[in-house]
Every structure is written in structure tokens, then in C-alpha cells.
Amino acid sequence: MIGSISEKENYLKDLVIKLLRERNLSNFDMLDSLFTELKQELENQQKNTN
């Protein structure tokens, strides 16, 4: 899928903007999945820095 956190963040921003413009929530599962992945990766980074 998508590699780095910054790539995921950018994709997520683009997806949210697209969904808001289209008012189409058919990609909700993808959106939810990306939020979950980012949250896990950020939590892992915090654990590694502490």
C-alpha cells in the first residue's frame, strides 16, 4: 500500500478533501483504515522515542 507516514498523511488529506467536495462517503472504509494505520504508527514512534 502506501509507505511512509508523510505519504499516508498527504493521501489522507487529499481523500478527505475529495470526499468533502463530492459529499461521497463510499471511501469511508479506506479513510477509517488510514486513520487507524497512522494512529498505530505514531503510537509506535512515541514508544520508540521514550
C-alpha cell at 9: 498523511
pLDDT in tens, the chain (50 residues): 567 777 888 888 887 888 777 776 666 777 778 788 888 888 888 788 76
pTM: predicted TM-score of the whole model, two decimal places: 0.51
Among 50, 49, 41, which Cα is nearest to 8's? 41
Lookup result for grid cell 469511508: 28
